[in-house]
């Protein structure tokens, strides 16, 4: 963008903003940026060159990308919104759209209630599928598992009652995590809220904290950054006093994961200093923990902190830093989801630097690990689309094939 083009673009932003009766602070809140950033855009100081940021700004103003930037690619006005598209969790979404309470209370369940050991095995499998990003299989497996758990939570008596509630919370947390990864944010919110309630009924406060982490992630996907920050920060405040002295590892895992959630919130909102401060706090917690763990399926530990640091750097537009960090992270012992996430973020970073070959290599490796995630993830698809635009007529066949698979053709 030339200086003249930036000023013309900024004038259009200001015009559409005023047309909607919005102050700069209103628009900033809507798109998760600062009022200062909006002001700089409108004055032509801050260029908007990234396609995903242009899309975000257009959505905040309630206009098409083409109206905001006439020379933008036509496909950019099409939704990167997965909520309206079919995906591998459609059956799971329908499953939680009803509520089991009425049928269970009216005695609608017929048959033998599964034992806790059977339910535990089923829930372990649910999380295995979630960590592996095998969403179609996850969705298919949930119908029986979730129904049995909901009934058991209302009919089990005695010492097993809390164990069943814990398993129910774990299942809804898995479902919330999966919905977040396929950008089904509203469904993720519902699942996370149910996870928190079941965790409370189980009598395990740390499981409640893990559920709040899932809730914060759902709020981030919904671009409700104030709600995400409030949820996570409130939980952090409660946990910090609990972990001030000697703390059990599980408590540190939840605290550290919540700091990573806050780092993401701040990065999405363009609050660079705050994002880095929460990353530093997460690193300090990970150092106290001293190892990579998987308490409450959070995968928190020193390695995951660095994975999130890469993601934060990409969100802040610090592509060089993201690449330097990512090259030194060994994720071989982490889940498929974490390994593919690092590769996707490195692909995004290389895309920001317009390094087509390196970006494509990372994205193809991520797809090999977790094809369902790469082909449905908003940011990954945006990067693929941008790579096609950058490459133009020289786009390699592998890139065009990837774009076709991800429905991200330019």
Asked whether residue 218 is domain-assigned, the answer is yes
Determine phi and psi for 204, rounding to 5 degrees: -110, 100
- Kindly report, residue by residue over 104-135, the tens digit of the pLDDT: 677 665 555 678 999 999 999 999 999 998 88
Asked whether residue 51 is domain-assigned, the answer is yes
The last residue of a domain, from among 58, 77, 96: 77
Do 198 and 93 belong to one domain? yes
Do 102 and 43 belong to one domain? no
Asked whether residue 257 is domain-assigned, the answer is yes
Do 107 and 73 belong to one domain? no
| HEC per residue, 325-355 | HHHCCCCCCCCHHHHHHHHHHHHHHHHHCCC
**Domain boundaries, position 400:** 333-410
The last residue of a domain, from among 47, 77, 107: 77
- Kindly report, residue by residue over 316-335, the tens digit of the pLDDT: 989 999 999 999 999 999 99
Q: Which residues, other chains included, contact 246 with Cβ-Cβ below 8 Å and sequence gap of 6+?
A: none
Do 72 and 172 belong to one domain? no
- Kindly report, residue by residue over 139-176, the tens digit of the pLDDT: 888 888 998 898 888 888 888 999 999 999 999 999 99
Do 71 and 132 belong to one domain? no
Do 94 and 185 belong to one domain? yes
Q: Helices 24-31 and 3-19 meet at what angle, rounded to 10?
A: 100
Q: Within 62-134, where are the H helices?
A: 65-68, 90-97, 101-105, 116-131
Do 154 and 217 belong to one domain? no
Q: How many domains does the chain have?
A: 4
Torsion angle defined by CA atoms of residues 134, 135, 138 and 142, in that order, rounded to the nearest 10 degrees: 180
Asked whether residue 312 is domain-assigned, the answer is no
Do 338 and 381 belong to one domain? yes
Mean pLDDT of the chain: 88
Do 264 and 228 belong to one domain? yes
Q: Which residues, other chains included, contact 70 with Cβ-Cβ below 8 Å and sequence gap of 6+?
A: none
The last residue of a domain, from among 246, 275, 300: 300
Nearest to 382, CA basis, from 407, 357, 356: 407
Do 64 and 94 belong to one domain? no
Report the C-alpha gap between 31 and 267 in whole angstroms.
Answer: 12
Report the C-alpha gap between 164 and 134 in whole angstroms.
Answer: 25
In angstroms, the Cα distances linking 126 to 66, 141, 149, 405 are 42, 7, 13, 26
For 34-58, what is the mean pLDDT?
82
Q: Within 222-335, where are the H helices?
A: 225-242, 249-268, 272-289, 302-315, 319-327
Asked whether residue 306 is domain-assigned, the answer is no
- Kindly report, residue by residue over 304-316, the tens digit of the pLDDT: 999 999 999 999 9
pLDDT at 87 over 70: no
Do 131 and 190 belong to one domain? yes
């Amino acid at each position: 963008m030339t200086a003249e083009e930036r000023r013309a673009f900024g004038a259009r932003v200001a015009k559409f903003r005023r047309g909607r009766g919005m102050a700069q602070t209103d628009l900033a809140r809507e798109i998760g940026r600062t009022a200062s950033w909006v002001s700089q855009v409108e004055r032509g100081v801050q260029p908007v060159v990234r396609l995903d940021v242009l899309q975000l700004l257009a959505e905040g103003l309630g206009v098409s990308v083409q109206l905001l930037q006439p020379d933008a690619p036509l496909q950019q006005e099409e939704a990167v919104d997965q909520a309206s598209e079919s995906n591998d969790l459609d059956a799971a979404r329908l499953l939680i759209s009803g509520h089991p309470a009425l049928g269970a209370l009216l005695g609608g369940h017929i048959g033998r209630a599964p034992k806790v050991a059977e339910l535990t095995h089923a829930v372990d499998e649910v999380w295995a599928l979630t960590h592996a990003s095998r969403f179609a299989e996850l969705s298919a497996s949930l119908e029986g598992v979730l129904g049995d758990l909901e009934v058991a939570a209302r009919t089990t008596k005695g010492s097993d009652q809390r164990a069943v509630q814990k398993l129910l919370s774990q299942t809804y947390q898995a479902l919330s995590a999966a919905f977040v990864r396929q950008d089904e944010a509203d469904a993720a919110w519902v699942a996370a809220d149910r996870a928190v309630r079941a965790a409370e009924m189980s009598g395990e406060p740390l499981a409640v904290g893990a559920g709040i982490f899932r809730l914060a992630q759902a709020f981030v996907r919904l671009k409700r950054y104030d709600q995400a920050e409030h949820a996570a920060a409130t939980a952090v405040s409660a946990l910090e006093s609990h972990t001030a002295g000697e703390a059990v590892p599980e408590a540190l895992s939840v605290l550290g994961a919540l700091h990573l959630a806050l780092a993401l919130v701040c990065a999405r909102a363009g609050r660079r200093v705050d994002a880095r401060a929460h990353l530093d706090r997460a690193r300090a917690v990970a150092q106290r923990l001293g190892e990579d763990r998987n308490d409450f399926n959070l995968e928190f530990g020193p390695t995951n902190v660095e994975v999130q640091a890469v993601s934060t750097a990409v969100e802040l537009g610090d592509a060089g830093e993201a690449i330097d960090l990512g090259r030194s992270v060994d994720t071989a012992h982490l889940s498929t989801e974490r390994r593919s996430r690092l590769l996707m973020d490195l692909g995004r970073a290389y895309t920001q630097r317009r390094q087509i070959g390196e970006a494509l290599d990372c994205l193809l490796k991520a797809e090999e690990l977790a094809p369902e995630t790469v082909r449905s993830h908003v940011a990954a698809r945006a990067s693929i689309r941008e790579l096609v635009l950058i490459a133009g007529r020289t786009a390699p066949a592998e890139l065009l094939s990837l774009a076709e698979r991800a429905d991200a053709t330019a």
